[in-house]
Chains A and B, each alone.
Chain A
């Protein structure tokens, strides 16, 4: 075997000829997350056909997204972009009346240099609906990074803290007036609530999670008496969190580096760099990091983690000693690999589309310590992998499990290599203590399937 065993993590970079989803796919989960939004993807038939095919059945549920399909006249500038977009957005306003329209710029709008950012504020005033512009295109980004571009754009729309402080003053003034009225108690109650949230340094989490997962994570932090003042994105666009220089922010997903940068540089927030709450080990480290920033001593976390690990025993027995190969397509790879190593698996290679060593610093360190702790060689991290080369390497290594995109899953299965479709990790609930089981449920599914089909003599199904 040709794997390199080294003490430090090695980073390589290949040709970038790999399969992944186009970042516009983020509309699929974001339109469901942000209930009052409408996503308008400004692109060609190619983009539309991708969404239609990749998102399968969802398209028939009257989704709150659509294509603004560019035609030849748009490309050759025979039609006026602004007028065209205005026409479509007015139609959307009439049919759906959303609280925000999000324009997703694509490769085509980049190439023809359509000035979406320039047009949006003008049109916004004209039609009186906020328009947020995110350039989630395949020229610059891969798959989940689409969410990153949308959230980074949305970070600019979050209300400012100073603005709220003024409001607080207003309320104080009003309170004096109210002293003479009968509605005193009600207002008093409101104000106490308000003071609490403002006076304490507040914490905003960023990253789109299903609402149940979001409340699970909120509860975990509440146990350590940390109150979350808001989420980016919130369930509704109108509930975006307050940002400012007294606000701490922390990411829940590894692909949100642009959002993190925007929050720090443009909104002056303080970023808490922590491993991501994936797996019980990750969740604990994430909570501990947040607590240490707020100077809180954690309570009962160690037991909580241990209890989760105990519940996972059956799954861990299945995966221990088995090897994994991440082909890389959604940027969750480092965190997942770290969790699987902690479960006793051997990771040969972590392919990843893009590696932000600063944003993921804590996660990378955690990966390193986990490898040492488990006495497992450091995996190689391959940025911008080359799928062809990876398949050659896989032939040599014969991993027990390949985590890969759908383009390669069936062909690999036919050659006797077990696969798990990587996109499922993006759509499944994998964050926090509660969902650690779900990750292993996914990872072990092919292994369990094998236990059922073993000894039938048809693992290799190609001539």
Chain B
């Protein structure tokens, strides 16, 4: 047993449901007790979905405990088959049903006999994998199922598309800025004259999965979900995949160069001429994206050597660490991830870019680390944002888990060249707040708890000499009120009625001491 208040990654079935409900016309049936269908609430509220979430529960109640599900699951499947006519029904076990150890595979076979839909049992172990791993597996399972089926029916061609094309694998519902990233990736590929063969699972149809091998290569933007599928496709169809996340100027260029190399070496006959993306990379880096220029500008100079802490899923935490360290000159004191299952990769990615590495899924450890390091800014999940609030450190949210405010209506990709702009804004805005804080510090501390005078107006018994007023006006506007109050407080404590410039500096010294 573990005492837990908060978790970074959800239970396995959430991952399965996220993948299943991202496909079009796929229905998931959970074998679960009443109340476990809160996934529908999350999707409907966070993603602001207009459609009913295609997830229902085959309820496990006392009767099921006593006698087993018997006909119930099969009935629920065939009923859903008639009501919605989905292409695929995914029977999803939950933690409850995995202890019951009912033969769900048997239900699937029985239901298959009477339904028009395809039916599969999601193959995830609740006590061994988390949400992200389960999503990865389920996606691979669905793809494998349909490619095997196509192979049996001999209705699929492995002939490549005429022009260079790619599959984007791993965009799905409730993913951190996934919709925006997908749009940005499509734009990037279009710029490179690469056609999109398919995007899965978001918005994809399972009937089209047999055409996946027509693409020239696969692009896996996020490590957490899609790698298994890409590896499967590589093994079975010799499709190469690129898993460099195109986040940050350096890695976007890496990613594009890899694409160029794969296409040039693997398909020289199809291509006729060699492609060269270097001019594109150069143009985008220097003039389209503002991030490269930003890191040269004096704004960014001020950030040099500032301390930051990064925490999130493996993809985002690693990319942001690299951006901060190499592209902005910020010192990353600690980089960490809750993706324990992928820690080797993560360590390898960030080891030269940060002082220490933290692999944990315990938010108290993250909190303690932040308190110890005392960074000027945090880049993390919603949890780190709250830790930051408590410690008075600004935080930019860079990874799931997130709240509704991170499902923005406006266009906010993290990937691609527009993504670099968004990330630069996010980083800079977090630190600017830090700078203001710092100025406040210089001119006299944070202590606002003690109220001296109730009103903010000037009718006090204290008089300010003309030179001290002049001095006061030199102080930047946003801290002026605070300085004024601190000086007056100091004056009152020391029985001074006439405030001079000396009083001001005495006050500042007194407060700093």
Interface string of B4-41 (1 = CB under 8 A from A): 11110011011000000000000000001111111011
Q: Is the CB of B59 within 8 A of A17?
A: yes
B92-100, B179-187, B269-277, B473-481: which one contacts chain A?
B92-100
Q: Is the CB of A462 within 8 A of B35?
A: no
- Whether A184 is near chain B, meaning CB under 8 Å from some CB there, is no
Q: Is the CB of A56 within 8 A of B403?
A: yes
Instruction: Classify chain A: how many residues form its interface, as a range.
Output: 35 or more
Question: Nearest chain A CB to B35's CB is how many angstroms away?
Answer: 3
Q: Is the CB of B3 within 8 A of A406?
A: no
Chain A residue nearest to B12 (CB atoms) is A45
- Whether B155 is near chain A, meaning CB under 8 Å from some CB there, is no
* C-alpha gap A59/B56 in the complex (Å): 27
Of the candidates A66, A140, A411, the one whose C-beta lies within 8 Å of that of B5 is A66
Which residues does chain B contribute within 8 Å of A139, judged by CB atoms?
33-34, 60-62, 65
Which residues does chain A contribute within 8 Å of B59, judged by CB atoms?
16-17
- Whether A91 is near chain B, meaning CB under 8 Å from some CB there, is yes
Chain A residue nearest to B101 (CB atoms) is A111
Which residues does chain B contribute within 8 Å of A67, judged by CB atoms?
2-5
Q: Is the CB of A21 within 8 A of B386?
A: no
* C-alpha gap A79/B2 in the complex (Å): 12
Q: Is the CB of A143 within 8 A of B96?
A: no
Interface string of A248-266 (1 = CB under 8 A from B): 0000000000000000000
Interface string of A403-428 (1 = CB under 8 A from B): 00111111100100000000000000
Question: Which residues in window 43-82 of A have CB below 8 A to B?
Answer: 44-46, 48-50, 52-54, 56, 59-60, 63, 66-72, 74-75, 79
* C-alpha gap A374/B59 in the complex (Å): 38
Chain A residue nearest to B84 (CB atoms) is A388
Q: Is the CB of B35 within 8 A of A21?
A: yes
Chain A residue nearest to B40 (CB atoms) is A407
Q: Is the CB of B36 within 8 A of A112?
A: no
- Whether B114 is near chain A, meaning CB under 8 Å from some CB there, is no
Interface string of B180-211 (1 = CB under 8 A from A): 00000000000000000000000000000000
- Whether B57 is near chain A, meaning CB under 8 Å from some CB there, is yes
- Whether B52 is near chain A, meaning CB under 8 Å from some CB there, is yes
Of the candidates B5, B10, B100, the one whose C-beta lies within 8 Å of that of A49 is B10
Q: Is the CB of A44 within 8 A of B37?
A: no
Query: For B1, B3, B65, which residue has the most chain A Cβ atoms within 10 angstroms?
Result: B1
Q: Is the CB of A74 within 8 A of B50?
A: no
Given contacts A17-B56, A139-B61, A462-B50, contact A50 B35 (CB under 8 A): yes
Q: Is the CB of A112 within 8 A of B44?
A: no
Q: Is the CB of B2 within 8 A of A410?
A: no
- Whether A154 is near chain B, meaning CB under 8 Å from some CB there, is no
Q: Is the CB of B11 within 8 A of A79?
A: no
Which residues does chain A contribute within 8 Å of B356, judged by CB atoms?
none
Interface string of B124-147 (1 = CB under 8 A from A): 001110100000000000000000
- Whether B83 is near chain A, meaning CB under 8 Å from some CB there, is yes
Question: Nearest chain B CB to A459's CB is how many angstroms away?
Answer: 13
Q: Is the CB of A142 within 8 A of B5?
A: no
- Whether B425 is near chain A, meaning CB under 8 Å from some CB there, is no
Which residues does chain A contribute within 8 Å of B94, judged by CB atoms?
46
* C-alpha gap A411/B44 in the complex (Å): 8
Given contacts A44-B95, A88-B1, A410-B44, contact A72 B127 (CB under 8 A): yes
Which residues does chain B contribute within 8 Å of A17, judged by CB atoms?
56-57, 59, 76
- Whether A273 is near chain B, meaning CB under 8 Å from some CB there, is no
Which residues does chain A contribute within 8 Å of B51, judged by CB atoms?
411, 414, 462
Question: Nearest chain B CB to A46's CB is how many angstroms away?
Answer: 5
Of the candidates A42, A52, A85, the one whose C-beta lies within 8 Å of that of B7 is A52
Which residues does chain A contribute within 8 Å of B62, judged by CB atoms?
139-140
Q: Is the CB of A69 within 8 A of B5?
A: no
Which residues does chain B contribute within 8 Å of A68, judged by CB atoms?
1-3
Q: Is the CB of B37 within 8 A of A407?
A: yes
Q: Is the CB of B41 within 8 A of A111?
A: no
- Whether B286 is near chain A, meaning CB under 8 Å from some CB there, is no
Question: Which residues in window 76-99 of A have CB below 8 A to B?
Answer: 79, 84-85, 87-88, 91-92
Instruction: Classify chain B: how many residues form its interface, as a range.
Output: 35 or more
- Whether A107 is near chain B, meaning CB under 8 Å from some CB there, is yes
- Whether B49 is near chain A, meaning CB under 8 Å from some CB there, is yes
Interface string of B70-83 (1 = CB under 8 A from A): 00000010000001
Q: Is the CB of B61 within 8 A of A46?
A: no
Given contacts A17-B59, A388-B83, contact A79 B1 (CB under 8 A): yes
- Whether B45 is near chain A, meaning CB under 8 Å from some CB there, is yes
Which residues does chain A contribute within 8 Å of B340, judged by CB atoms?
none
- Whether B48 is near chain A, meaning CB under 8 Å from some CB there, is yes
Q: Is the CB of A54 within 8 A of B38?
A: yes
* C-alpha gap A131/B61 in the complex (Å): 27
Interface string of A125-150 (1 = CB under 8 A from B): 00000000000011111110000000
* C-alpha gap A140/B100 in the complex (Å): 16
Which residues does chain A contribute within 8 Å of B34, judged by CB atoms?
16, 18, 20, 22, 138-139, 141-142
Q: Is the CB of B50 within 8 A of A411?
A: yes
- Whether B42 is near chain A, meaning CB under 8 Å from some CB there, is yes
Which residues does chain B contribute within 8 Å of A88, judged by CB atoms?
1, 3
Given contacts A22-B34, A53-B42, A72-B127, contact A111 B65 (CB under 8 A): yes
- Whether B53 is near chain A, meaning CB under 8 Å from some CB there, is yes
Given contacts A91-B3, A139-B65, contact A111 B35 (CB under 8 A): no
* C-alpha gap A46/B13 in the complex (Å): 9
* C-alpha gap A388/B83 in the complex (Å): 9
Question: Nearest chain A CB to B159's CB is how many angstroms away?
Answer: 34
Q: Is the CB of B386 within 8 A of A410?
A: no
Chain B residues with a Cβ under 8 A of chain A: 1-7, 10-11, 13-14, 32-38, 40-42, 44-45, 48-53, 56-57, 59-62, 65, 76, 83, 94-96, 99-100, 126-128, 130, 386, 403
Instruction: List 12 extra interface pairs beyond A19-B40, A20-B35, CB under 8 A.
Output: A16-B59, A19-B37, A22-B34, A22-B35, A44-B126, A46-B11, A53-B38, A54-B41, A138-B32, A140-B61, A407-B41, A411-B52
Closest 6 A/B residue pairs (Cβ) = A22-B35, A138-B33, A407-B40, A414-B50, A45-B11, A84-B1
Chain A residues with a Cβ under 8 A of chain B: 16-24, 42, 44-46, 48-50, 52-54, 56, 59-60, 63, 66-72, 74-75, 79, 84-85, 87-88, 91-92, 107-108, 110-112, 137-143, 388, 391, 405-411, 414, 461-462
15 contacts between A and B (CB under 8 A): A17-B56, A19-B37, A23-B35, A46-B11, A49-B10, A59-B6, A68-B1, A68-B2, A108-B96, A140-B62, A405-B41, A407-B44, A411-B51, A411-B52, A461-B50
